[in-house]
Amino acid sequence: MLGGWLTGVMHLQTIRLFHHLGMYVILAFALAHIYIGWYLDSRERNGLMGSIFSGYKFVTGKEWE
């Protein structure tokens, strides 16, 4: 009952291991995605990430022209 058809293919601990590894990969991807977004926003200084939260984007004089 626990695991269904998958327990016939591999042991329950192996399924648990793969599940945990997959969750750690997803968590690492999400954290890296957020970090890289904030890092690029601070390097480019265009306010793109800040506009996601505030609704307003900082526009420089060059962008107006």
In this structure, which long-range contacts are made by residues 10-19, counting pairs with CB atoms below 8 Å and at least 24 apart in sequence? none
* pTM, full prediction: 0.65
pLDDT tens, N- to C-terminus, the chain (65 residues) = 556 777 778 888 998 999 999 999 999 999 999 999 888 888 877 777 778 777 777 766 766 66
**CB of 43 closer than 8 Å to CB of 49:** no
**What residue spans define the domains of the chain?**
24-65
**What's the pLDDT score for residue 65?**
61
Closest CA to 33 of 11, 52, 13, 8: 52
**What's the pLDDT score for residue 2?**
58
**What's the pLDDT score for residue 64?**
64
CA 62 to centroid of chain Cα atoms: 31
